A and B are shown apart, each in its own frame.
Chain A
C-alpha cells in the first residue's frame, strides 16, 4: 500500500477551469487561486496545462527566501509563505523552476499552493483534484494510478546538472523515465535560414527568446 500522492496528467486537461474556481473558493485564501491554468501555444491550440506546486524534496523557494518564510512540513509539503515573515521580495517567484509562487502586490506577500494542507493533512483530497472532471489532477496512491493509467508517473526533473525531485508526479508517455528539461532548449543554433535570410523567430522557442538579448 503506497501513500497518497498527487498526479498531474496534462494530456487529460480540458481547460474547464473547475480547479481554478474550486481553489478560489477555499476559505484560507478566498478569491485567489493557487493553481495556475497555463495555455500552451495559444496561437495554435486550445491545450491547457494545470500547474500546482510540485513540492520539491529540496525546495529552492525556501532556500532562497531571505526572510525564512517558506517551510516544509515533515510530510513533504512545502507550505505557502508565513504571513508575519514574508517581505514580498519575490526571490522565490524568480527561483522556482516550475513558476509556482506568485507575488500578490495587493497584500505584499507571496502565496502558493500548499496542497490544501488543511484537507490533505486529514486524509481528504485537495480541492482541485476533487473537482477535476477529466482527472487530469488526481490524488490517489501510486498503485491505483498504475492500475488505471497507461503512462509513467515521474517526479524527477533534470535542469542540466541540477536534479529536482518532487512530491507531485506528472504522467508522461510510458517510454520516458526522467525528464531532461534543459534538452528542450538548445542554445547556439544558427539562426541563418536558407539563402542568407535570417530564420524567422519562433515565439515558442525558449532558446530564441534567450538569445535575443
Chain B
C-alpha cells in the first residue's frame, strides 16, 4: 500500500518522495554509512598492501640453476652473444664492454617485450621496435619509451667457462 492512497489523508508533500516510508523506495545513503564504507574500505586496502609486502619480504624465490654460456669466453671486446637463461623461453644477451668485462642482460625490452640488439659503436643495447636505448654497462634506460632497466644476469667465470648463476630484476 502506497503512502498516497490512505483514505481521507491529504496528498503527500513533495519532500516525502525523497524520504519515503516504504523501504523499497528508499535510496538515500547517509553520511555515516558513507564514512563507514570509506573507513573500512581504506583499512581493507591498507591491510591487503601490508600482507602483500610481508609475503614479498619473507618469501624467498628458489635459487636459479647454473648454466654455462657456450663460447662466451671467446667474445672479443665490443662483441656479443645470445643465450637463454634461466629457461629456454628467456632470451638473454651477453656483451663484452670496452673495459673487457662480460655483462649479461635479459634480451626482452622492458617497454613492450621486443628483443634488444647490441650496438657496440654506442656501447648500448637498442630496441628497434620503438627506439628504446639501454646502457650496455648496467642495463639502465637511456632514451626512448622504456623506463625500467633490463634485468641483469649475474655471471661468474671458472677457468675458461662463463656461467650464469642468477638474475636481478
Interface residues of A (CB under 8 A from B): 57-59, 62-63, 68, 70-74, 76, 79, 84-85, 163
Contact = CB atoms under 8 A, between A and B. Distances in A.
Contact of A73 (B7, B24, B28): B24
Contact of A71 (B9, B22, B30): B22
A84 B30 contact: yes
Q: Which of B9, B19, B21 has the most CB of A within 10 A?
A: B21
B30 A72 contact: no
A63 B13 CA distance: 12
- Interface pairs A-B: 7 shortest CB-CB: A71-B23, A68-B19, A62-B21, A84-B32, A73-B23, A58-B6, A84-B33
A108 to B, nearest CB: 13
Contacts of A71: 21-23, 26
Nearest to B26: A71
A128 B1 CA distance: 27
Contacts of A72: 21-23
B90 interface: no
Contacts, number: 34
Given A59-B21, A62-B21, A70-B21, 14 more contacts: A57-B1, A57-B6, A58-B6, A68-B28, A71-B21, A71-B26, A72-B21, A73-B22, A74-B22, A74-B23, A74-B24, A84-B33, A85-B30, A163-B7
Interface residues of B, number: 16
B130 interface: no
Contacts of B23: 71-74, 79
Nearest to A78: B21
A73 B7 CA distance: 20
A84 B28 CA distance: 12
Nearest to B36: A84
Nearest to A71: B23
Contacts of A84: 30, 32-33, 36
B138 interface: no
A199 to B, nearest CB: 38
B3 interface: yes
A71 B19 CA distance: 10
A63 B6 contact: no
Contacts of A62: 21
Q: Which of A72, A76, A85 has the most CB of B within 10 A?
A: A72
Interface string B116-143: 0000000000000000000000000000
